[in-house]
Amino acid sequence: MNEQTTVYKADILIVDDKPANLRLLATMLSDRRYEVRTAISGQLCIRAALTIVPDLILLDINMPEMNGYQVCQHLRKNAQTHDVPIIFLSALSEPLDKVQAFHSGGNDYITKPFQLEEVCIRIENQLKITTLQKQLTAQKQELEFQNKRLEKEIKYRHEAENKLLQINQQLQILANSDSLTQLANRHAFDRFLQQEWRRMTRERLPIGIILCDVDHFKLYNDRFGHPAGDKCLQQVAKAIAEVVKRPADLVARYGGEEFAVILPNTHTQGVLAVAEMIRQQVENLQIQHPQSSVSNCVTLSLGVACIIPDQHSRPEQLIQISDRALYQAKQKGRNQSVIYN
């Protein structure tokens, strides 16, 4: 009798210095038909990745001797592993921790404790992006080859260029949008903030940020389940987007149940007014949340910050201020907008 050969969807390398975490992730992903390898240290991760290049790496940050940031930077410098998607898994949830993760070369960031469905969706999203990137490279090579041989066939060249454009558009959509809410993702948020920060610095105009957090969202998930939680986040995302309508503004999913709004050329009171409209819009949805200590329906806490940037300030400072304002809003009882004092 012939043994049945298992067809794996992808080769995933999991890196964590805690064996219990490795066993949990390995079991969950193996059940989803992923080929799983594990490493308990940064050095072993690098050795395993260079021996057989994985399709994707799940990388913990807090590890002895060599942390996740250092491992990621090392892999990005090596031609063999430069393009391998890396998703950080960490209990660190501060904005600056996430910023450092992306600056070190990470493709995505999942905060512990994580949900299996979220991990799987983010893995599939990164694998799709990688596939499209390979397709794009292959199409470019084919186009160059055909152009050398068939320079006079303008019609073919135009068709090939249109196909490349379609692939590139699909890639841009996947790379810049959040798969659950269809809002801009964290990558797009960081890029847009940097761009508008430079523009506001040149024009000496203010820029505002609103950080929004769904109040007691874990309790909502515990009561209604994660599919209902996903639907709730989609409704909240739509409500925020309905308030923020200027083409120059950006609404993004910042992570988990957090959303962020960037408002260029908007003074403090204007940013606060938008925050209050968002808060009211979400409350008006009347999504039942009997476990909340704030209200019987889903509400938001919002942190507001505004600054006129200059050559001596950085976008990360604005994020940090708005995060502190969000913390104050929670401390004061939630379901309110607070400017950091």
Catalytic residues: 257
Give one DSSP letter per residue of 139-169, joined into a string. HHHHHHHHHHH-TT-HHHHHHHHHHHHHHHH
Which residue spans within 93-206 are E strands per DSSP? 108-111
**243, β-bridge pairs:** none
Tokens found for residue 256: 């988990």
Q: How far apart are the C-alpha atoms of 179 and 121, rounded to whole Å?
A: 8
Q: How many CB atoms lie within 10 A of CB 57?
A: 29
Q: In sequence order, what are the residues at sequence separation of 6 or more whose Cβ sits closer than 8 angstroms to the Cβ of residue 92?
A: 61, 62, 98, 111
Q: To which H or E segment does residue 262 belong?
A: strand 258-264
Structure tokens at 34: 């992923």
Which helix (H) or strand (E) covers residue 89, if one does? Answer: strand 86-90
Which one, of 221, 212, 318, lies nearest residue 264 by Cα?
318
